[in-house]
Chain A
């Protein structure tokens, strides 16, 4: 173990660095700019942007229930974004969070229907289910890692293909009646059997979607990733591989085994997020859930600049916007896709911070983690 005192100051320093004026100002201005540009689009289709944004804001934080729903909605994004961010740190671009999350959720839904789980108490059943999610997601994330390490197949392509395969195979597993695999025949719509009550993650506050214990598990995962990256030898190897794979190789680090381990761990984080949604929110899996969550995860990880702490607040904002979009649609009749436009624009203005810095005259100080890790190191040059 490292010296606790040192570790603590380091932890605080990291936290302080993640909320300094620099890193807060640019996103805030970016959000303002995004809202302005999206407002123009809203005006063009003949709606009132102020009305829409006011409804959106009330939808996000308008009452205690709404705040809880926003927190609940953002829970899966934390784990999924963590999966993307962790891979970023090793110079890998994991677009496969969606597939990994889905496979994790399916494993959790499958293990959750084992009959013995109904007889054991929650503290035993729930960890088993979450572990199943981690294993499923981890294995599915390990495939592209293995392929990259052994054959050089680029993870951007393999993870996207694996997403599509996961969606199709899970649809078959849940829909199929002959042979009957995961489908609950007593339900009117295709879905898996419901988890026994004892195997459900306790809800902290019952809203829709509920704020369940998974939210705190996700935050703990963020702390874990921070610890791995900053306090362990493995984390050091991961960051070295991410900054300069050739240097890592020259220093005798196992670049290939690191790639496999990072992708598997990455998948496991997404898998836990999927399992959390199964045992915490729905209690079963229906095909078509989690569609598109992979791109949300990428956007969040990029906005947070792959910083585990920043992921928490970015996910909260992201989830809250989606949770609030419903009320905006109800009140102003505007499609919830308006929120999607705002989100894309926020990412645009944060990525191209030159625009924001020029308009609002924010000076540049130092560099952030992602700027030292060039993501696009080319197609075949990671090893």
Chain B
């Protein structure tokens, strides 16, 4: 009797083992022995960890091989195997950073700033994922999040520009409010189509995406261009008392923009409401088995309407991030697929708020890493990595993550199935 089997984890283990051997045997010996620094604060005089690239890469390579071995003892100790895989995956972050530094002419790079940038770029993805979470937990697939975000970004900034010339604070808040309202309105359309009329939910989502593309392009060229306003002042920084006093982390993380903080609150709030309140229980019950829920006196239609509109509001805030927090301004198709990446994060997070948030941050991190590598001008031999490759990093990671690490995801049982009242 063999005490091991060859499954998904073992496949991943073999990949880790091969990468580890490659690192130890080929990459590490060919790296220059020149000390590089990982800093955690902006200059001058930052907190700094000095690393020796060949030694670090060898160490990580050895850990990868150990991870590979651990996966083959899954039968004896399942926790060890899965823990090892998580450790191995996390080690990719220092590995990429050290490799990038070793292959670049720069002497050091700021890790803390990279993490803060990841959180910033992950903000709209996390908001989109929470929007999707609300809808899908109630049993309504929503691929229209992209369109909701785009439309909100447009109407929000349009309001900001028309009311306050894109530079007054009160108009900015009004703009964000209009963005949230727009998200809710489109979500209501999605609910009317897919919950009441029982139109295929994917078709309804496509309608919203197409409508948003057309309407925003139309509004930009017919209204925004006429105002002559091309850019505006984005949201300002807020300093959180006490938290921003924490050394190193505080100043860089807790002096940040409002939608970022709102995102953190929404992720925490979504988790609390969905899993700790009666309303949340109802939403999840409707998403899993609407008929059973109705037997218990819950109105699935009403619950789905509420959940979809809540999701729409969150998506609207995500849209506001694009045109009023990340930058002040609106361009055609500026969300550029973020709504779909949010769905991938949701899928990755198995329809749970904390893990979906982690997924969103992973994509934020890959984007931040891509631009960091571009700044560091990483060259392998004579080949300077083209910026297009680095820009496609988040998409490649999404595919790898969705296909590799998570396995078959378990969506809510009634997700995507229109509900028809039993007579």
Contact = CB atoms under 8 A, between A and B. Distances in A.
Nearest to B222: A45
A351 B392 contact: no
A378 B200 contact: no
Contacts of A334: 222
Interface in B205-243: 206-207, 209-211, 213-215, 217-218, 221-223
B203 A169 contact: no
Interface in A347-376: 347-348, 351-352, 354-355, 370, 374-376
Given A164-B337, A345-B211, A379-B409, A298 B206 contact: yes
A378 B211 contact: no
A232 interface: no
Contacts of A338: 214, 218
B186 to A, nearest CB: 12
B403 A380 contact: no
A338 to B, nearest CB: 6
A292 B204 CA distance: 18
A376 B403 contact: no
A172 interface: yes
Contact of B347 (A157, A169, A335, A348): A157
A344 B216 CA distance: 12
B411 A378 contact: yes
Contacts of A147: 399, 402-403
Interface string A138-178: 00000000010011111011101111110011011000100
Contacts of B409: 152, 154, 379-380
Interface in A162-197: 162-165, 168-169, 171-172, 176
Interface in B319-363: 333, 337, 340-341, 343-344, 347
A176 B384 CA distance: 12
A353 B18 CA distance: 56
B415 to A, nearest CB: 5
Given A154-B402, A161-B398, A352-B193, A172 B388 contact: yes
A377 B211 contact: no
A154 B389 CA distance: 23
A335 B222 contact: yes
B386 interface: yes
Given A158-B399, A158-B402, A341 B214 contact: yes
Main secondary structure of the interface of B (DSSP, over half): helix
B416 interface: yes
A171 B391 CA distance: 12
A351 B199 contact: yes
A302 interface: yes
Nearest to B212: A344
B47 interface: no
B73 interface: no
Contact of B215 (A162, A339, A341): A341
Nearest to B397: A161
A374 B199 CA distance: 10
A164 B394 CA distance: 10
Given A351-B203, A376-B201, A341 B211 contact: yes
B347 A172 contact: no
B215 A378 contact: no
Interface in B147-188: none
B253 interface: no
Contacts of A345: 211
A41 interface: yes
A297 to B, nearest CB: 11
Contacts of B202: 93, 375-376
- Identify the interface centre among A161, A302, A341, A351: most chain B CB within 10 Å of its CB: A161
A168 B413 CA distance: 36
5 contacts: A158-B402, A343-B210, A370-B200, A374-B417, A380-B411
Q: Which 8 A-B pairs have CB atoms at the shortest separation, nearest pair first?
A: A340-B214, A376-B416, A337-B217, A344-B210, A172-B388, A153-B403, A337-B218, A335-B221
Given A172-B388, A348-B193, 8 more contacts: A41-B215, A150-B403, A152-B409, A340-B213, A354-B197, A374-B200, A379-B415, A380-B408
